[in-house]
Amino acid sequence: MTTPNATIRNVRAASDTAVATILERCQTLARFSEIPGATRRTFLSAPMRECHAEIAKWLAPLGVATRIDAAGNLHAVYPAAVSPASDSIANSVAGSSLDQSVPTFLIGSHLDTVPNAGAYDGTLGVVLAVALLESLGGRRLPFAIELLGLSEEEGVRFSVPFIGSRALVGRLDEDLLRRTDANGISVRHAIEDFGLQPSAIPQVALGSNVLGFLEFHIEQGPVLEDLGLPLAVVEAIAGQSRLEFIFSGRTNHAGTTPMHLRHDALAGAAEWIGAVERAAQSVPGLAATVGVIEAKPGATNCIAGQTRVSLDVRHASDDTRRAAASGLIQIAQQIARARKLQVEHKTLLEQPATPMDPFLVERLAQSLSAIGCQPHRMASGAGHDAMILAERVPSAMLFLRTPGGVSHDPAEAVAPADIAKALACGLHFLQQLAESPDFLHRKYLQPESLKPDSLTDSEKRTRRA
Ligand SMILES: [Zn+2]
């Protein structure tokens, strides 16, 4: 007979093995790369095919087949328990999600990478999804689980992100298909070169059978490490405003123009940059960044007559973000007036915040508590596939602590103990969904949380873009 302690030891051993497998698989996928000795795997590049084949190998023992949709996304369906009432034939067709009568919950992330990437951004979310299916030990839930390995999130090859998830929400349109990469190859041609059919893209869009989406992702920032927490539930993905400012003064000789007779555009921009930092520090959760500065004529012995600077403002609340951006515009105008400069600005991007689904967020928080973790909630400052899928299906994200906050770099890491907790949280979460009548009968569905009317005109354009 097994003693309770021995049972705990067995569970720990099983979990250690699962975590070791997850880490090993992330490293394996990192080797499928366009360049030797480093990881770079862009949209529909040759190593993406090896990546798909490797994942298919892991899933085969579960009897779960994979398929690649017309946008290059990998899908694998772990069938639902066959209920005598529904007796759905589709449940026995592994790998198919075309039958839209089977209630299906999606779990996954993206398989593409930035140049010189680490092994965990995106990949960990897919590998953890495989591990979750394995951990079910053959048990079927009242809904199918569809694993997603999304084809494109980083925007490296075509300078436009989320190609894979855009297709799933029906937004991979002609404009996007015509975009070209650095070699003049269009998205359409890339799809054809990979052996896929652009004409089948409309069928990639998710059906009404989809109950929701869960994405595991590394935080890619220092917040959880700073708090000493392994995991957090993402409550919302922050909205972004991107603007450009041009300060104009008068170019003149750096030696002959006395300080009190100058109209120095660069000094004016510099004063404003300091004010941007102070303003953002005074509002909780606000991030404001000046990342580009360009002074003209740009010579050591010239006073700058013109200075162009960028501004990136992010917050989980659209009202707070908009108020901050307009406050920073006013400060730029005040500084320009005081220095007898001109300042112009233009808005380049208005991306509204995306709230995650409250029902799923609450369940994830409960699962964190159940496994002994603090149910910390936070906003994501970076965009993720969940932001796009949330347009169509209830979506949620779980962040894993990122050592040193380092990401988009080969030094990217994740602690084995944190992976074990993420896996336990995911299993508990699935169990909760399986036992929730509200979930199974879709009573959790929120009224459209992002009503088009609540967006500004430029935000509507951005959403469509
Ligand atoms: Zn990512």
CA 226 to centroid of ligand 1, rounded, Å: 21
CA 153 to centroid of ligand 1, rounded, Å: 7
How high is the pLDDT of residue 96?
43
CA 129 to centroid of ligand 1, rounded, Å: 15
CA 114 to centroid of ligand 1, rounded, Å: 9
CA 218 to centroid of ligand 1, rounded, Å: 8
CA 408 to centroid of ligand 1, rounded, Å: 9
Torsion of Cα atoms, 197 then 201 then 203 then 204, to 10°: 110
CA 382 to centroid of ligand 1, rounded, Å: 9
- Reported as a single tens digit per residue, the pLDDT across 378-411 is 999 999 999 999 999 999 999 999 999 999 999 9
CA 115 to centroid of ligand 1, rounded, Å: 13
Q: Which residue has the tokens 């509507």?
A: 460
Lowest mean pLDDT among 48-52, 199-203, 411-415, 438-442: 438-442
Output the CA–CA distances (angstroms, integers) from residue 245 to 272, 305, 319, 330, 336, in the order listed: 10, 14, 21, 12, 11
Across residues 244-249, what is the average pLDDT? 98
Find, among 304, 299, 236, the residue nearest to 264 by Cα.
304
CA 322 to centroid of ligand 1, rounded, Å: 26
Is residue 356 within 8 Å of 386, Cβ to Cβ?
Answer: yes
CA 366 to centroid of ligand 1, rounded, Å: 25
CA 385 to centroid of ligand 1, rounded, Å: 8
Q: How far is CA 409 from the centre of its chain?
A: 17
- The answer to whether residue 460 scores a pLDDT higher than 60 is no
CB atoms within 10 A of CB 184: 7
Rg (C-alpha) for the chain, rounded Å, is 25
**DSSP H/E element including 296:** strand 293-296
CA 121 to centroid of ligand 1, rounded, Å: 5
| Arithmetic mean of pLDDT over the chain | 91
CA 464 to centroid of ligand 1, rounded, Å: 22
- The answer to whether residue 93 scores a pLDDT higher than 70 is no
- The answer to whether residue 362 scores a pLDDT higher than 50 is yes
Across residues 320-334, what is the average pLDDT? 98
CA 142 to centroid of ligand 1, rounded, Å: 30
Q: How far is CA 143 from the centre of its chain?
A: 25
CA 15 to centroid of ligand 1, rounded, Å: 25
How high is the pLDDT of residue 443?
83
Pair of tokens at residue 368: 């964190």
CA 111 to centroid of ligand 1, rounded, Å: 9
pTM equals 0.87
